[in-house]
Copies of this chain bind each other. A is one copy, B any other.
Amino acid sequence: MAAQPPSSQREIRRRNLSRVLYAVAEQGPSSRAAVAARLGLTRTAVSTLVDELLRSGLLTEQGPTPPDGGPGRPGTALALTDSGPCGLGAEIGVDHLAVCAVDVRGQVRARRETGSEGRNSRPAAVLARLRELVDEVAVQARELELSPAALAVAVPGLVARGTSTVVHAPNLGWHDTDIAPALAQVGTVGEETGPGAAPAAGGSLPLIVDNEANLGALAELWLDSGRVPRDFVHVSAEVGIGAAVVLDGELLCGNRGFAGEIGHMPVRPDGPRCACGGTGCLEQYAGELALLHAAGIATDGPRDDALDTLRDRAASGDERALRALEEAGAALGLVLAGTVNLLDPRALVLGGVLARFAPWLRPSLERELVERTAAPGAPPELLVSGLGADGPLLGAAHTAVREVLNDPLSYRAANGG
């Protein structure tokens, strides 16, 4: 048991300000009394915290509260601001780049997207284009009186834990690429004229870089919490197949940040050679390329066209397409059964391309799951993401928003409040 120094007053205040913001985020517009009841704090304490958040501009007051108030001063409803700080999310895909701005209410307020030739690309060229998109979205955001407070970037590869370095992104061909230098001062164009100066003028935005599967899983957790439990394994495919393990509402990062490489769990020990060095990895059976090859669909054109073709053929009952999807589902089911035996999660969530093809993958996937789950009882629920291909981008933007919600004092300080 490691020794813990007593929490400082500032730390306690920071945490309580954050708890007030999350309470309003989760409850919607709320009276001070409702916030106090939810947090187990006194109304006096909450009023002091709320005053500070009103001064900093993170909370605003709306009309009278819904009649939940009880005695005390007649309340106005507290709401999160729709101006002030926002989070920027970015996604580096193999064939596209996307950027969006999300306000502290969780609404997407600006968005830009473009095609990209990411495969075996030079990082500098891709990052320069991403930088332009981020700057464009930042300008759009400022026009809406939003002020970018942090940037989070989803990448299709391994990111060293707690750093901005892409250690290996096989489908981009990137190795040991620190993306921070190329994004220095990005998103801060025109900030002097914006409604708030966040962060410290002239500095770079706080930057978070993470694997797309991790950020996609956080999007499920945060944006679909009525359906997705707090313990689950999220499996998604874009060009590669990745997973994220969420335990009690927290991402499992792994020792080096490399957890979730489910695409390289073995299906057949003597299967086809994989780019990772192994043989018979899941990606060789259920990866996008393997799936398209098995269905007899050309892969030298645009990805979306090929995937549309696969969907159309499956929908029209094409046998080869159906067999390819069934076999991919069985391979996924085999690996997910192993994952269930190891981790006993509460649910499995299929995202990305897997969500799109879920109707055809599900029967063979569930058959393997049921047959191979060692524990008695039904295997975990199999959910299909409702976020489609947007999961990683939204997860990134919400990660950036949470930088503000988690540390309102630093925003206030940056904002000169």
Contact = CB atoms under 8 A, between A and B. Distances in A.
A90 to B, nearest CB: 23
A226 interface: no
B259 A343 contact: yes
B277 A343 contact: no
A38 B3 contact: yes
A372 B261 contact: no
A362 interface: no
A279 B175 CA distance: 38
Contact of A243 (B168, B335, B342, B380): B342
A375 B167 contact: yes
B255 A158 contact: no
A372 B274 CA distance: 9
A255 B343 CA distance: 8
Given A3-B39, A267-B269, A342 B259 contact: yes
A265 interface: yes
Given A40-B6, A256-B375, A338 B1 contact: no
A339 interface: yes
A337 B278 contact: yes
Interface residues of A, number: 63
Given A266-B337, A374-B264, A252 B167 contact: no
Nearest to A4: B40
A277 B344 contact: no
A372 B273 CA distance: 11
Nearest to A175: B376
A345 B254 contact: yes
A283 to B, nearest CB: 9
Contact of A1 (B22, B245, B371): B22
A206 interface: no
B265 A168 contact: no
Interface in A367-394: 371-372, 374-377, 380
Interface string A15-56: 000110011001000000000001110000000000000000
Given A4-B40, A341-B264, A372 B168 contact: no
A260 interface: yes
A277 B371 contact: yes
B255 A231 contact: yes
Given A269-B268, A278-B337, A342 B262 contact: yes
B167 A265 contact: no
Interface string A226-237: 000001000000
A344 to B, nearest CB: 3
Contacts of A23: 1, 3
Given A254-B343, A255-B346, A372 B245 contact: no
Considering the complex of A and B, which 8 residue pairs feature the smallest CB-CB distances, nearest first?
A: A254-B344, A264-B374, A265-B338, A278-B372, A261-B341, A258-B375, A276-B374, A255-B346
30 contacts: A1-B18, A1-B26, A3-B23, A5-B40, A158-B375, A158-B376, A167-B375, A245-B342, A247-B252, A253-B344, A254-B345, A255-B344, A255-B346, A255-B380, A256-B344, A256-B377, A259-B342, A260-B344, A261-B341, A261-B342, A261-B374, A262-B341, A262-B342, A264-B374, A266-B338, A267-B269, A268-B268, A269-B334, A281-B372, A281-B374
Given A261-B375, A276-B372, A277-B371, 7 more contacts: A1-B23, A245-B343, A253-B344, A258-B375, A262-B341, A269-B330, A281-B374
